[in-house]
Amino acid sequence: MFELLISIFIHAFWISFIGGTVTLLLFRLFFVLKYKLDYQKALFVLFVPCSIGFYLTIDEKSKMTWLYRFLVVLFFISTFIGSIFILYMYLELDLI
């Protein structure tokens, strides 16, 4: 049972680290291409951390923006679960 819990923590970490980064970057790229933003705003949307550029640039409320926000929350939860594993490993090594 403990091995299952550790496995869930590890998989949540990799899902948030690789899957979250790639998925949200592709969504932002899609929005840049859809709205045909100039290069300065496009770079702002694509590369400003924590989706700040996206939220400041895209004002439209659509199903795609709702999906983007849902994915942000989903990957945040996955990151939180994955961080429990990192904390566990830190405390495990500290106790040895």
Does the pLDDT of residue 69 top 70, yes or no?
yes
Lowest mean pLDDT among 11-15, 27-31, 83-87, 90-94: 90-94
**What is the value of pTM for the model shown?**
0.79
pLDDT of residue 84: 83
Instruction: State the CB neighbour count (10 A cutoff) for residue 16.
Output: 20
Contacts of residue 11, defined as CB under 8 A and 6 or more positions apart, other chains included, come to none
- Nearest-angstrom CA–CA distance, 20 and 49: 13
- Nearest-angstrom CA–CA distance, 24 and 2: 32
Does the pLDDT of residue 96 top 90, yes or no?
no
33-57, pLDDT tens digit by residue? 998 989 999 999 999 988 899 888 8
72-89, pLDDT tens digit by residue? 999 999 998 888 878 877
Q: To which residue do tokens 């291409």 refer?
A: 33
